[in-house]
Chain A
């Protein structure tokens, strides 16, 4: 069924719904593709071929109407809990952990979710290359010597390689958008609270959000439709009506005011990346948008503020991994030594660095200067966006400052790695939705352009992203 692999998720879903194609045929095609490319790409920590087929059989056996996304095989980032299927978060400390319930985002998708497997990721979603996984790095399907980005690098690589038609990732500082950009696919970080995080293993709770990673914009709209919604199990989930994300997709950009973010187009951004973003800006203008220069005056403080807030929340959230209720335990005489040894052996370098950074920033005497000050910077960043959105409907920028880099190039330089998220972090700090959509190539590798909108304007950013897709001429092509 090689032909099936050429379809988008949306197209496949329609064929499954009309029973023209069975979910089992789709599942078999996905499994075969995984078997063929996984030895090179390594997108998954755990593949679940039998479960994929069994769930697909249940979809086919179901009477009555299927939902518009039912039966389309999905890759799930290994930070979302899956009942009875091990969920490692890319960490040694959860190597054999089998959750007792499914994440609400998966429950929202519906019964008999056809999952291809659990996608690789930087440990506890901390990283921008997927090299911080305890299970080895994932390769970029466009060039196997390069990283797929991160932290949702496994999800991005799976979609780019056709190992499943779409994927769920999570985005705390760019972890959906940056790997999407580096792998030539679409990645959407919804508004904070739009998708339930119940069952998502927490990284930085004031920033984390689940998002779709797909072949094109229409697939992203459909997958968001499947997972969005209020959840009483997640007190931070937004009790805001879920609109129809597909109905306005073809609306175009005529009359839209788009601001190109000046602070994200200067030093530190590769010239090849800038060129693609400028070209897209010009083409959107030709398509009827008015494009002007926008300013986010506190942009230079976003990355430093993030690297206080996120590690501080990490140091608190990862305190639960103590060898008592689940996961690894390294035996020792006393309980404190058991904690220390378990965490020493269970966590990798980046997790340790962030726990240390966060604990330091929250410790007596430093709290106000670091965490307190960073939370105030966050207020200034939100004010910057509010002011920008009074002049523009949407903001445009690169998603990441570079194209995909070589495996190993940044592993010993945490600051260089952190810089990958310089354009994506502000949206997390402000809780606004942002999408990365391929804009073209530089050095033969994909470049993502980012569109940011005000809270709950997903229909608008999807519509504009669809227009970018139209003018860019970039079409999804399965790699390698």
Chain B
């Protein structure tokens, strides 16, 4: 189980608003899902290296050269709000 308080804490970390009803539902559902995935804890894998990329690619670089990319106007064209050629947001609290 995961408590409703834990649900609210995690929702806050994720900047995700949840209604009281969603908090309640989430507590039950996440609890059931977590219970089913905790199975992996059975395995002793202390000597096993983790896999983050299945092809074992690491640190792929390309030359840092400017290319014809989006203009500021284009880049801002999808934004909900802009000001002074920048993305505008409400007061930072």
Chain A residues at the B interface, C-beta cutoff of 8 Å? 97-98, 100-101, 191-193, 206, 232, 235-236, 238, 298, 300-301, 304-305, 307-308, 315, 319, 322-329, 331-341, 343-345, 347, 352-353, 355-357, 359-360, 363, 369-370, 372-380, 382, 414-415, 418, 429-432, 455
Pair A235/B60 contact, Cβ less than 8 Å: yes
| In the complex, chain A residues whose CB is within 8 Å of the CB of B49 | 376, 379
Given A301-B39, A431-B54, output 14 extra A-B contacts at Cβ < 8 Å.
A192-B55, A193-B57, A304-B36, A335-B90, A338-B90, A345-B17, A352-B22, A357-B33, A363-B10, A363-B13, A372-B50, A373-B40, A415-B36, A418-B33
Instruction: Judge whether B83 is part of the interface by a CB distance below 8 angstroms.
Output: no
B16's closest neighbor in chain A, by CB? A343
Residues of B within 8 A of A319 (CB): 14-15
User: Closest CB of chain B to A126's CB: distance in Å?
Assistant: 13
Q: Is the pair A328, B74 in contact by a Cβ cutoff of 8 Å?
A: no
What sequence of 0s and 1s flags, for each residue 12-49 of chain B, a beta carbon within 8 Å of any chain A beta carbon?
01111111001000100110111011111101010011
Interface string of B46-77 (1 = CB under 8 A from A): 00111111110100111000000010001101
Are B89 and A206 in contact, CB atoms less than 8 angstroms apart? no
Which chain B residue has the least Cβ–Cβ distance from A304?
A: B37
Closest to B49 in A: A379
Closest residue of B by beta carbon distance from A354: B33
A-B contact pairs, 21 of them (CB 8 A): A100-B74, A100-B78, A236-B53, A238-B57, A308-B40, A325-B87, A326-B80, A331-B90, A333-B90, A333-B91, A334-B92, A336-B15, A344-B17, A352-B26, A353-B26, A353-B33, A360-B10, A373-B45, A375-B50, A382-B51, A415-B36
Task: Give the size category of B's interface with A.
Answer: 35 or more
**B55 touching A352, Cβ below 8 Å:** no
Residues of B within 8 A of A307 (CB): 33, 36-37
Q: A-side binding surface: helix, strand, loop or mixed?
A: helix
Residues of B within 8 A of A (CB): 2, 6-7, 10-11, 13-19, 22, 26, 29-30, 32-34, 36-41, 43, 45, 48-55, 57, 60-62, 70, 74-75, 77-81, 87, 89-93
Known A-B contacts A238-B55, A304-B40, A339-B15; A377 and B80 likewise in contact (beta carbons under 8 Å): no
User: A374 CA to B79 CA in the complex, in Å?
Assistant: 37
Contact A322 B40 (CB under 8 A): no
A236 and B78: CB pair below 8 A?
A: no
Closest to B46 in A: A376
User: Which B residues touch A414, using CB under 8 A?
Assistant: 29, 32-33
| Option from B6, B54, B62, B79 in Cβ contact (under 8 Å) with A382 | B54
- Selected from B16, B40, B89, the residue in CB contact (under 8 A) with A355 is B16
Please, which residues of chain A bring their CB within 8 A of the CB of B61?
A: 235
Ranked nearest first, the 6 interchain pairs of A and B with the lowest CB-CB distance are A431-B54, A344-B17, A375-B50, A334-B93, A329-B80, A340-B17
